[in-house]
Copies of this chain bind each other. A is one copy, B any other.
Amino acid sequence: MNRVLVSGGCGFLGSHLVDSLLLRADVERVVVIDNLWTGALANLAHVSDSRLFIEICDVERFATADRFDEVIHMASPASPPWYMREPLRVIRANVEGALNLLNLLRPGGRFCFTSTSEVYGDPLVSPQPESYRGSVDCTGPRSSYDESKRCTEALLFESQRVSGLDIRVVRLFNAYGPRTRADDGRAVSNFISQALTSRMLTVHGDGLQTRSWGYVDDIIEALARFFWRDACEYRGPLNVGNNREVSVLDVATHITKLLPGTRIKFMPPVPQDPTNRRPDLTIMKRVLPGWTADVPYEEGVRRTLDWFRLQMAARESAIRYEEDRRMAV
């Protein structure tokens, strides 16, 4: 029976991975560490499984006498407006977080890390294979995220080299889906939440920058298969994403068609916004045969839109309930 620690387990991807973990019969206990910076307890509010424990704490400060068979380090904001506001906190969460969590792993345990396609920066080759060394400005406004992910990869691969640490490292390309924050700030969730409120979608730059939009269910399926597998010759870095490259403007246009009456407004480009992003999935095909990111963005966007609508309706109903109660008093 395994004890598993998930840092960032109340976040968008983290909470989906916790759901997946709780489906495993060999898991005795799941401890989530989250400081609720970008995560939310609401993301795990549906869980009624006595194996789940949540500790509200910074990952770099978390202390316990427990030792874990598996540590999954996901704690970090992943959206530029969030990480650009508090860059040092991002570095602490990733790098100091990893150093701290290493101490909580039992000898022989496994350390899984969600790195990012941002390690490739604004890539000069497309699609990006894992061997591509990237084009990151380590003094730029996105560097706290990009470089702390790169440094944490270094820390883990070097631990593997010098002490045989069992690691799994994935590089996640743009993921989206239910449980993204309405104020997350990344394209898909931003467009949907704008379409449902101000009805004005803001596209930065000309919108021709491309991304590879991976729907959350597909992404989590890949993580589960890679992280839970014992016999694993290749331990990373592994690109995880949808390799259908779509422009930001195409996604925005698609959403305006789903919601008549919404419009697109162009805004100045975001500093050092990558011009393109597409995973080379050659290694993935070998390591996880049969896995594909097969939810097309048209379908993923529809599901995400439905989820956002329900969330907004629930929030409005809660506000009305509180107002009615106050009136009644």
Q: Which residues of A contact B (CB under 8 A)?
A: 85-88, 91-92, 95-96, 99, 102, 119, 121, 133-141, 143-144, 146-148, 150-151, 153-155, 157-159, 161-162, 169, 236-237
Contacts and interface: CB of A to CB of B under 8 A. Distances in A.
Nearest to A149: B138
Assembly stoichiometry (copies)? 2
13 contacts: A85-B162, A87-B162, A88-B159, A91-B151, A95-B151, A96-B96, A138-B151, A138-B153, A139-B153, A141-B161, A146-B154, A148-B151, A150-B151
A157 B137 CA distance: 11
Nearest to A102: B88
A146 B99 CA distance: 17
Contacts of A85: 162
A154 B158 contact: no
Given A88-B99, A151-B91, A158 B133 contact: no
Nearest to A150: B138
A87 B158 contact: yes
Given A139-B237, A161-B141, A154 B91 contact: yes
Nearest to A130: B139
Given A95-B151, A162-B85, A133 B141 contact: no
A154 B133 contact: no
Contacts of A159: 87-88
A237 B87 CA distance: 18
A92 B141 CA distance: 23
A87 to B, nearest CB: 4
A139 B157 contact: yes
Contact of A137 (B133, B137, B140, B169): B133
A143 B137 CA distance: 16
B143 A157 contact: yes
Nearest to A143: B154
Contact of A151 (B147, B157, B169): B147
Nearest to A237: B139
A102 B119 CA distance: 26
Contact of A158 (B119, B144, B169): B144
A92 B87 contact: no
B162 A139 contact: no
